[in-house]
């Protein structure tokens, strides 16, 4: 048997306290399309950046064609025949296609000779692979699919035998994605090796020969695509975690407090992330939104909390109609009685260099309680912060400490305390226990259930399936921006996993 | 307005725009690589002082130029160290260099030469003197073209010719060489350069060094060609005007030349218009005319004329790790 195209042995990588890759072993056979799947943050992109020399592994070995190689920088990777198509394109937006392709591979100090060669080569690649693109077009004028094609051409021009594509379809329309797959199959037919990183199971099943699954920095399994199933992969991806149990009584839902109709939201790139979504949440119930990360949950939460403008739809909170297609003031939404625990506490929930008590009133700093004329009433702020520290057991109990000095779990408690203690009628919670230790998880779950029992309407978004199942009274599954199914709290993991993977309900499943 | 007056105006426009052109092209290299540089002013000043000192001591204009370039490049490297290696704030670093240059030139000048911060007057070989091109006198008799050749093109110092030759050279470097391609790329998307296997810091350091060399020329021109020695604060904001010209010209070499000529022209007019009775408006106050270039700068910078699109990655330190 021929030597594998690329082998990884015991690759380890840390970023500060986070171990992004844990002793990864991977073998990719020559002339195959090898898929690597895992949720966002599973460590896929880090691993590929190591292969491409953008990061260095802390330990481990890379072998290309059976020979050990030291990939210290992208040059070494290019020399070893490895090309990469980055998730965020590495293109110079105001350069032409030719200029982008030749950047770093100019051949001589003067450009003239190189330009001719690039043009000839682009023409050849166009004829061989149908990768047509106007060589003189400026990148920013090209559609995203075309830009990606330039990235592929860049790699091929440098003589790549092994092509790594990082989430290549995330930004593509379905027809662009189909065309990309045709190109990849053609490249495979010519003996090129392709590594495809994605979190979309459907793509894996459609195009790959082998598939490896990553979860929380570990390589958990490698399968032949023909011998596995979407259900198995979904389960491997999400993982069987220790079942969380939450003590909760029967839900007693009453009137509708949050009502969403036909909500459509696009992200910054113009890709539709939430597609005509309608649902409602009643007082006294927890509605969980399950889904693999990146299927529109984040954009849904942002639209509901007034952070992101929607394209279409209606939202009603506590009986008040809100037009989400207009610029809304998140403070206005808060005043109506809808609190929001953002998914990413560092990015949206907290200002890390602030003192704890400042973060504890963030967003409510205009409140009369915390004001003395035009100034902030620091004593009132600190008194309030100390009460919350006490109630939520935030450690260390020091309201003057810089927020960045608290652990992740305690930071999360600061956000939760701030939002929950406002006694909102509607509570939007994103990833309540991300990066939170087990003890704090239990506490946070208990508070969420208490809120429910106090008659609040709670919308819970989490990528932790166990969390969704443990807390929710109803589960909505989101896939590709749509709500593809609704289940009760007793739905099985396999059932939810299939929905999350976008597998339409089959007649057999309905039986 | 007769021909002699016009030619005189054109000639002084060229003379006055030369230091601006050197400084603006210097800024172009630096900023195209993604390093914002408001320390053009300070580097010109230190170069003016260093070159005038060296020329005074050794009596050689060319040695003066060499020392001026060394001084400005040293300051450039400080800016590079702060903004490339230590990823500091480029504006703060630039302001600091301007302050240091303003203070240092006076203190050193006083302690070395004891002339109130001035350097000794330069004479003979200590200055760059006008070069008379061959046939200038003979050509004068030819109508129109003759006087232009004799009075505008001929009779400038060598630095003026260098400055204007730098324009096509810069264009060629930027758009026709590998270095230029990479320089433009690193100012727009350093990650693209990095993933292409090119060192971002080394590329930016080279840009910053070129910036130092050109500001060295600019400062030397002021003290050793235009004037005959260094006087305190002799740059008088020219570094900032050069920056304005650079922005106005959208970081492109040939428009930079025209922008610098425009500012130089205003400067030349302001000298000539003083005390002159103009029809309708009468005598214009000196202060108003002298303020004109600065007013225009503000107008340009406020975006009233066209839209400036600076290099995308300008001012942002490149950090690879997440």
pLDDT of residue B303: 65
Q: Do A104 and B182 touch (CB under 8 A)?
A: yes
Q: State yes or no: pLDDT of B124 exceeds 90.
A: no
Structure tokens belonging to residue A19: 């171990």
Worst-scoring range by mean pLDDT, A215-219, A428-432, B306-310? Answer: B306-310
Q: State yes or no: pLDDT of B192 exceeds 90.
A: yes
pLDDT digits (tens, 9 = 90+) for A137-158: 999 888 888 899 999 999 999 9
Q: How confident is the model at residue B38 (pLDDT cuts 50, 70, 90)?
A: very high
- Where b means 16+ CB within 10 Å and e means fewer, A326-354 reads eebebeebbeebbbbbbbebeebbbeeee
pLDDT of residue B129: 86
Q: Which residues of A touch B177 (CB under 8 A)?
A: 109-111
pLDDT of residue A276: 93
Q: State yes or no: pLDDT of B233 exceeds 70.
A: yes
Kindly state whether residue B206 falls inside one of the protein's structural domains. yes
Q: Is A452:A253 a contact under the CB 8 Å cutoff? A: no
* Domains of chain B: total: 1
Q: Do A73 and B177 touch (CB under 8 A)?
A: no
Q: Residue B192: closest CA among chain A residues belongs to which residue?
A: A90
The answer for residues whose C-beta is within 8 angstroms of residue A116's C-beta and 6 or more apart is none
pLDDT of residue A129: 80
pLDDT of residue A509: 40
Q: Do B196 and A90 touch (CB under 8 A)?
A: yes
* Percent above pLDDT 70 for chain A: 95
Collapsed DSSP state (helix, strand, coil) of residue A269: coil
pLDDT of residue B322: 44
pLDDT of residue A169: 82
Peptide bond preceding A383: is omega within 30 degrees of 0, i.e. cis?
A: no
Residue A219 bridge partners (DSSP):
A214
Q: State yes or no: pLDDT of B92 exceeds 90.
A: yes
The Cα A429–Cα A460 span in angstroms is: 5
pLDDT digits (tens, 9 = 90+) for B222-232: 999 999 999 98
Q: How confident is the model at residue A127 (pLDDT cuts 50, 70, 90)?
A: confident
Q: Which residues of A touch B322 (CB under 8 A)?
A: 15
Q: Do A103 and B181 touch (CB under 8 A)?
A: yes
Q: How confident is the model at residue B306 (pLDDT cuts 50, 70, 90)?
A: low
pTM: 0.76
Q: Do A54 and B194 touch (CB under 8 A)?
A: yes
- What does the DSSP 8-state code read for residue A292? -
Query: Which among A15, A92, A114 has CB closest to B189?
Result: A92
Q: How confident is the model at residue A241 (pLDDT cuts 50, 70, 90)?
A: low
Q: Which residues of B touch A109 (CB under 8 A)?
A: 177-179
pLDDT of residue A504: 62
Q: Nearest-CA distance from B33 to chain A in Å?
A: 13
Worst-scoring range by mean pLDDT, A376-385, A501-510, B246-255? Answer: A501-510
Q: State yes or no: pLDDT of A493 exceeds 90.
A: no
Q: Nearest-CA distance from B185 to chain A in Å?
A: 6
pLDDT of residue A510: 39
Kindly state whether residue B312 falls inside one of the protein's structural domains. no
pLDDT of residue A286: 95
Q: Do A84 and B191 touch (CB under 8 A)?
A: no
CATH code, B24 = 1.10.3470
Kindly state whether residue B187 falls inside one of the protein's structural domains. yes
Q: Residue A73: closest CA among chain B residues belongs to which residue?
A: B197
Q: Is A481:A274 a contact under the CB 8 Å cutoff? A: yes
pLDDT digits (tens, 9 = 90+) for A25-81: 999 999 999 999 887 667 888 899 899 988 889 999 999 988 999 998 888 999 999
Q: Is B159:B165 a contact under the CB 8 Å cutoff? A: no
- Higher model confidence: residue A363 or residue A210? A210
Kindly state whether residue B321 falls inside one of the protein's structural domains. no
Q: Do A103 and B196 touch (CB under 8 A)?
A: yes
Q: Is B314:B187 a contact under the CB 8 Å cutoff? A: yes
Worst-scoring range by mean pLDDT, A89-98, A218-227, A229-238? Answer: A229-238
Q: How confident is the model at residue B151 (pLDDT cuts 50, 70, 90)?
A: confident
Burial of A23 (0-12, 13-18, 19+ CB in 10 A): middle
Among A88-97, A343-352, A438-447, name the most confident range.
A88-97
Q: Which residues of B touch A104 (CB under 8 A)?
A: 182, 193, 196-198
Q: Which residues of A touch B198 (CB under 8 A)?
A: 103-104
Q: Nearest-CA distance from A371 to chain B in Å?
A: 35
Q: Which residues of A touch B321 (CB under 8 A)?
A: 15, 55
Query: Which among A104, A108, A109 has CB closest to B197?
Result: A104
Q: Which residue, among A211, A233, A238, has the nearest Cα to A26 in the 3D structure?
A: A211
Beta strand A256-266 with A272-282: parallel, antiparallel or unpaired? antiparallel
Q: Is A477:A484 a contact under the CB 8 Å cutoff? A: yes
The Cα B198–Cα B157 span in angstroms is: 40
Q: Nearest-CA distance from A112 to chain B in Å?
A: 7
User: Which residues does A contribute to its contact with B (CB < 8 Å)?
Assistant: 15, 52, 54-55, 73-75, 77-78, 84, 86, 88, 90-95, 99-100, 102-106, 108-112, 114
Please provide the average confidence, as pLDDT, over all residues in chain A. 87
Q: State yes or no: pLDDT of A282 exceeds 80.
A: yes
Q: Is A312:A291 a contact under the CB 8 Å cutoff? A: no
For B153-199, where are the alpha helices, taking DSSP H only? 158-176, 178-188, 190-195
Q: Averaged over A200-227, what is the pLDDT?
A: 89
Report the residue of B34, B189, B193, B250 to disrupt the A interface, i.e. the one with the largest count of A CBs within 10 Å.
Answer: B189
Q: Nearest-CA distance from B198 to chain A in Å?
A: 6
Q: Residue A55: closest CA among chain B residues belongs to which residue?
A: B321
Q: Do B312 and A93 touch (CB under 8 A)?
A: yes
Query: Which among B175, B179, B192 has CB closest to A92?
Result: B192
Report the residue of B197, B201, B318 to disrupt the A interface, i.e. the one with the largest count of A CBs within 10 Å.
Answer: B197
Residue A64 bridge partners (DSSP):
A6, A67
Q: Do B181 and A55 touch (CB under 8 A)?
A: no
Q: Averaged over A230-252, what is the pLDDT?
A: 73
Q: How confident is the model at residue A506 (pLDDT cuts 50, 70, 90)?
A: very low
Q: State yes or no: pLDDT of A434 exceeds 90.
A: no
Q: How confident is the model at residue A511 (pLDDT cuts 50, 70, 90)?
A: very low
The Cα A45–Cα A337 span in angstroms is: 39
How many CB atoms within 10 Å of residue A420? 24
Beta strand A59-64 with A67-69: parallel, antiparallel or unpaired? antiparallel
Q: State yes or no: pLDDT of A474 exceeds 50.
A: yes
The Cα A303–Cα A328 span in angstroms is: 9
Taking phi over 0 as left and psi of -120 to 50 as alpha, with beta for the rest, A59 belongs to beta
E runs forming strands in chain B: 277-278, 282-283
Collapsed DSSP state (helix, strand, coil) of residue A251: coil
pLDDT of residue A233: 84
Q: State yes or no: pLDDT of A342 exceeds 80.
A: yes
Q: Do B188 and A92 touch (CB under 8 A)?
A: yes
Kindly state whether residue B319 falls inside one of the protein's structural domains. no
Q: Nearest-CA distance from A73 to chain B in Å?
A: 7
Q: How many beta-carbon pairs under 8 angstroms link A with B?
A: 72
Q: How confident is the model at residue A465 (pLDDT cuts 50, 70, 90)?
A: confident
Helix (H) or strand (E) holding B135: none
Q: Do B182 and A111 touch (CB under 8 A)?
A: no
Report the residue of B181, B188, B193, B309 to disrupt the A interface, i.e. the one with the largest count of A CBs within 10 Å.
Answer: B181
Q: What is the span of the domain harbouring residue B64?
A: 3-301
Please provide the average confidence, as pLDDT, over all residues in chain B. 89
Structure tokens belonging to residue A269: 């790139």
Q: Do A91 and B196 touch (CB under 8 A)?
A: no
**Residue the block writes with tokens 């030619």:** B7
Q: Residue B321: closest CA among chain A residues belongs to which residue?
A: A55
Q: Nearest-CA distance from A214 to chain B in Å?
A: 20
Worst-scoring range by mean pLDDT, A151-165, A275-289, B168-182, B270-284? Answer: B270-284
Query: Which among A73, A84, A93 has CB closest to B188?
Result: A93
Q: Averaged over A273-299, what is the pLDDT?
A: 91
Q: How confident is the model at residue A328 (pLDDT cuts 50, 70, 90)?
A: confident
pLDDT of residue A508: 42
pLDDT of residue A28: 94
Starting at the edge strand found earlier in the chain, the sheet holding A320-322 runs A272-282, A256-266, A312-317, A320-322
- What structural domains and CATH numbers belong to chain A? 6-238 (3.40.50.300), 256-350+425-510 (3.40.50.300)
Q: Do A15 and B321 touch (CB under 8 A)?
A: yes
Query: Which among A86, A95, A104 has CB closest to B198?
Result: A104
Q: Is A497:A309 a contact under the CB 8 Å cutoff? A: no
The Cα B47–Cα B23 span in angstroms is: 11
Q: Do B181 and A93 touch (CB under 8 A)?
A: no
Q: State yes or no: pLDDT of B210 exceeds 70.
A: yes
User: Which residues does B contribute to its contact with A (CB < 8 Å)?
Assistant: 175-182, 184-185, 188-189, 191-198, 312, 320-322
Q: State yes or no: pLDDT of A499 exceeds 70.
A: yes
Query: Which among B184, B188, B195 has CB closest to A74?
Result: B195
pLDDT of residue A489: 87
Q: Averaged over A293-297, what is the pLDDT?
A: 84
Among A198-207, A231-240, B112-121, name the most confident range.
B112-121
DSSP per position, A428-441: EEESTTTT--HHHH
Q: Do A78 and B197 touch (CB under 8 A)?
A: yes
The Cα B286–Cα B267 span in angstroms is: 12
**Residue the block writes with tokens 């230029």:** B180
Q: Nearest-CA distance from B55 to chain A in Å?
A: 37
């Amino acid at each position: 048997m021929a030597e594998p195209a690329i082998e990884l042995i015991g690759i380890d990588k840390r970023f500060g306290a986070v171990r992004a890759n844990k002793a990864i072993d991977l073998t990719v056979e020559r002339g195959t399309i090898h898929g690597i799947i895992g949720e966002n943050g599973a460590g896929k992109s880090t691993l590929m950046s190591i292969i491409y020399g953008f990061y260095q592994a802390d330990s481990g070995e890379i072998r290309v064609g059976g020979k050990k190689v030291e990939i210290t920088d992208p040059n070494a990777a290019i020399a070893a025949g490895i090309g990469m198509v980055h998730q965020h394109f590495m293109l110079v937006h105001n350069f032409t296609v030719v200029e982008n392709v030749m950047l770093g591979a100019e051949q001589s100090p003067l450009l003239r000779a190189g330009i001719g060669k690039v043009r000839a080569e682009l023409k050849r690649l166009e004829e061989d692979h149908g990768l047509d693109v106007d060589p003189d077009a400026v990148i920013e004028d090209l559609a995203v699919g075309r830009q990606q094609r330039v990235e592929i051409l860049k790699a091929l021009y440098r003589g790549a035998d092994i092509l790594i594509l990082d989430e290549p379809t995330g930004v593509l329309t379905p027809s662009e994605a189909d065309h990309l797959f045709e190109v990849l199959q053609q490249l495979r037919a010519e003996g090129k090796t392709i590594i495809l990183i994605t979190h979309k199971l459907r793509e894996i099943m459609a195009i790959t020969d082998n598939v490896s699954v990553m979860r929380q920095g570990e390589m958990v399994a490698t399968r032949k695509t023909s011998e596995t199933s979407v259900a198995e992969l979904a389960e491997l991806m999400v993982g069987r975690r220790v079942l969380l149990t939450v003590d909760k009584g029967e839900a007693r839902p009453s009137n509708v407090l949050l009502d969403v109709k036909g909500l459509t939201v696009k992200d910054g790139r113009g890709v539709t992330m939430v597609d005509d979504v309608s649902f409602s949440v009643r007082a006294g119930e927890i509605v969980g939104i399950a889904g693999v990360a990146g299927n529109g949950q984040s954009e849904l939460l942002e639209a509901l909390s007034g952070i992101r403008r929607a394209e279409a739809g209606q939202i009603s909170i506590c009986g008040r109609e809100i037009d989400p297609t207009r610029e809304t003031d998140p403070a206005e939404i808060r005043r109506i009685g809808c609190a929001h625990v953002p998914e990413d506490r560092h990015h949206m929930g907290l200002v890390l260099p602030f003192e704890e008590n400042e973060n504890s009133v963030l967003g409510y700093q205009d409140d009369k309680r915390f004001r003395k004329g035009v100034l902030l009433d620091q004593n009132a702020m600190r008194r309030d912060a100390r009460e919350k520290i006490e109630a939520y057991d935030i450690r260390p109990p020091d309201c003057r400490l810089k927020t960045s000095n608290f652990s992740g779990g305690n930071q999360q408690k600061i956000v939760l305390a701030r939002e929950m203690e406002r006694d909102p009628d509607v509570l939007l919670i994103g990833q309540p226990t991300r990066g939170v230790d087990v003890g704090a998880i239990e506490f946070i779950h208990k508070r969420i259930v208490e809120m429910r029992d106090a008659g609040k309407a709670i919308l819970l978004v989490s990528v932790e399936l166990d969390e969704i199942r443990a807390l929710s009274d109803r589960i909505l599954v989101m896939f590709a921006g749509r709500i593809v199914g609704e289940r009760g709290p007793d739905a099985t993991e396999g059932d939810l996993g299939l929905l999350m993977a976008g597998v339409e309900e089959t007649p057999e499943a309905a039986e | 307005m007769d021909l002699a007056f016009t030619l005189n105006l054109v000639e002084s426009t060229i003379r006055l725009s030369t230091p601006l052109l050197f400084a603006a092209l210097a800024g172009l290299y630096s900023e195209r690589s993604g390093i914002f540089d408001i320390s053009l002013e300070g580097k010109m000043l230190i170069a003016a002082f260093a070159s005038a000192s060296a020329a005074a001591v050794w009596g050689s204009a060319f040695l003066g130029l060499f020392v001026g370039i060394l001084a400005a490049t040293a300051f450039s490297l400080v800016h590079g160290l702060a903004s490339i290696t230590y990823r500091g704030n480029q504006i703060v670093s630039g302001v600091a260099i301007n302050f240091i240059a303003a203070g240092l030139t006076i203190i050193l000048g006083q302690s070395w030469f004891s002339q109130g911060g001035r350097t000794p007057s330069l004479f003979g070989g200590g200055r760059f003197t006008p070069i008379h091109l061959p046939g200038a006198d003979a050509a004068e008799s030819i109508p129109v073209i003759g006087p232009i050749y004799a009075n505008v093109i001929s009779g400038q110092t060598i630095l003026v010719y260098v400055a204007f030759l730098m324009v096509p050279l810069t264009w060629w470097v930027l758009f026709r060489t590998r270095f230029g391609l990479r320089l433009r790329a690193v100012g727009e998307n350093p990650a693209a350069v990095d993933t292409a296997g090119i060192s971002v810091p080394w590329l930016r350091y080279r840009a910053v060094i070129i910036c130092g060399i050109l500001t060295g020329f600019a400062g030397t021109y002021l003290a050793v060609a235009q004037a005959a020695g260094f006087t305190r604060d002799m740059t008088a904001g020219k570094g900032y005007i050069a920056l304005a010209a650079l922005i106005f010209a959208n970081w492109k070499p040939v428009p930079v030349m025209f922008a610098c000529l425009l500012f130089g022209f205003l400067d030349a007019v302001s000298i000539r218009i003083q005390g002159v009775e103009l029809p309708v408006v009468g005598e214009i106050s000196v202060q108003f005319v002298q303020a004109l270039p600065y007013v225009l700068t503000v107008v340009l910078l406020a975006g009233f004329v066209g839209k400036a699109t600076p290099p995308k990655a300008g001012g942002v330190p490149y950090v690879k790790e997440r």
